[in-house]
Structure 1
Amino acid sequence: MKLFATTALLAGLFAAGPAFAADTYEIDPTHAWVGFKTKHGPWANAQGTFKTVAGTISFDKEDVTKSSIELTIEAASIDTNHEQRDTHLKSPDFLNVEEFPQITFKSTAIEKTGDNTAKVTGDLTLAGTTKPTTLDVTFNGEAALPWDANVIKSGFSATGTINGIDFGIAKMADFGLGPDVALEIDFEAIKK
C-alpha cells in the first residue's frame, strides 16, 4: 500500500511538469547607470552618477513577487563633472567613502503594479546608515544579442527618492543641497 501511494505521488509530480524557477542575471557593469540629482539652492539641480555598479538579480517572470535583487555601488566612483566637488563628496562630510566604501541595495519585497512594472522595496545602505527604500521599476524587455545568440540580456529602469539627511548626510543643508535626492537607474543584466 505504501509503495502504491509513493508511486502515485511521484507520478502526480511528474505529470504536473517542472516547476518554474527564477533565472539568475548578473548586471553588466558596462551597461549600468546610477544617476542622482538634488536641488542646489534656488539655482538648479545638482546631478551626478556612480560609475562602478555590480549586482545579481533573481528574476521569476511567472511571479515577479518571488524575484530579488542585490545591487552594489562603489561610493568612490561618484562623478559630478567636477573633481574638487567629487573629492568633497567622498569625504566624511558626505559619503565618507573610506569608512563606507560601498552603497548597497537588497530587496525585501516586490509588488507587481502592471504588466512590466513593480514596486521594489529593499534595504538601502548609504554612508553607514540602512533605511527601507522603494523603487519604481520597469522591465524593459529581454533579447539575445544580435551578434551572439548565446548571450541573453534583460533591461530594467528604476526611479525613486531618498532623503539625504535621513542617511546621516547632515552637511547637505550647509551647502544648500536637497534634502531630497532623486534616483534614476538603468541597467542591462546578462542571463546566467
Structure 2
Amino acid sequence: MLATLRKISNRLFRLAINKKLQRRLTNHRMSVIASNCNGALILHDLKEAFRSPFVNLYLEPADFIRYLQNPRHYQQTEPVFEQTDKPYPVAKLDDIRLYFVHYHSEREAREKWLSRSTRIDWDNLFVMMTDRDGCTQQNIADFDALPYPNKVIFTHKAYPQFASAYHIRGFENQSEVGDLFEFSGWFGQKYYDQFDYVAWFNRNHG
C-alpha cells in the first residue's frame, strides 16, 4: 500500500516538475551523447527530440571514452551485430561495443542508430557519462581530460580533482551510482535532478 501511494505521489508531482523544466529550457536543438539511458530519459522529461543515436543503449566506460576520442570516425562506421547470450542486440562499432538493451531486434537497433546518427549537431553537443558498469577512477580521469566544453560524469562520491565530476547524493555506500532516473523520495524528484541539466543545456543558447 505504501509503495503504491509513493508511486502515485511521485507521478503526480513529476508532471508539474517536468512542465516547469520544459518552460525553463531555451536550447531546443542540443545533441546528447550519453553512456547509458540517463541522457534519453532526461530528454524525454523535457519533451525534446533525440538528436543522437545514444538512446536505449549503453557502452562500457573504456569504450565510451574511446568513442569520444574519435567520434566522427565511429559515426562513419557501420555497426556489426554479434551473436551473444544477451537477451538484446549487441554490435561492434569498429573496436567498441554497443549494448542495445531496450531494442527487440538487430534490425530495429540498426535502423534507429543510423537514422539518429544523421541528427547529431556537433556544434550543440552535450556529453554525459555515469560512474557505473565497472567505471574506475582512471576512467573518470580520462573522461575529464576529453576536450568537450559541455561534459559531466555523475559519480557516487565526490571527486573534487575532476572538474566534470558531479556527485549524486544517495549512493555513497555503494561502489557506483544506481539508476538515476528513479524517484528519490515522495515528491517527484529523480536522482539526476540534483544536477541542473536545464541550466547546463541553456548555456549553449544565448
Given the two structures, how large is their TM-score scaled by the length of structure 2? 0.27
| Higher share in strand | 1
Q: Which has the larger radius of gyration?
A: 1
Given the two structures, how large is their TM-score scaled by the length of structure 1? 0.28
